Amino acid sequence: MFFYFILIFTVFFDQLTKWMILDDMPLPIEVTSFFNIVLAMNKGVSFSMFASNHPHAPMILTAIGIIITLFIAFWFLKEKESVVKLALSLILGGAIGNIIDRIRFGAVVDFLDFHAFGYHWPAFNIADMMICFGVIIILTEAIFSKEKEE
């Protein structure tokens, strides 16, 4: 039950923050010298790769996202290892949050904007962070479980 709570909380928190950004917040907001809150509608995938103005691009990316999410959901349901199940709940929550955006807006709402020393990281959101945390957990678990076996 805990893992379902994490999944639902991730979707809720992601959508809540995006709602706050879209709800007439005066943007951009300079939080620090290296961090701003902005509004960026990402029509592509991670870091705006494969962004396209083709009329069917949002539908195609949404369909691909749903298919990948279904595979991860199946893995989540079958997984017995708690650490991996936690990671998958974060990944699923993030994926569902971004799919909701694609269905509603045809793009993903990104708003966290980091920059320093002339470098600018592409804007991202809470869902993206949770997906990254989940992947890092799975990779770490895979590395350390392999070391335990040897």
Catalytic residues: 110, 128
Question: Taking Cα atoms as reference points, which of 63, 94, 99, 92 lies closest to residue 75?
Answer: 92
Question: Taking Cα atoms as reference points, which of 44, 46, 73 lies closest to residue 60?
Answer: 44
| Kind and range of the H or E run holding 108 | strand 108-116
DSSP-assigned letters across all residues of 27-91? S-EE-SSSEEEEEEEE-SSGGGTT----TTHHHHHHHHHHHHHHHHHHHHHH---HHHHHHHHHH
| Helix orientation angle between 82-105 and 2-22, rounded to the nearest 10 degrees | 30
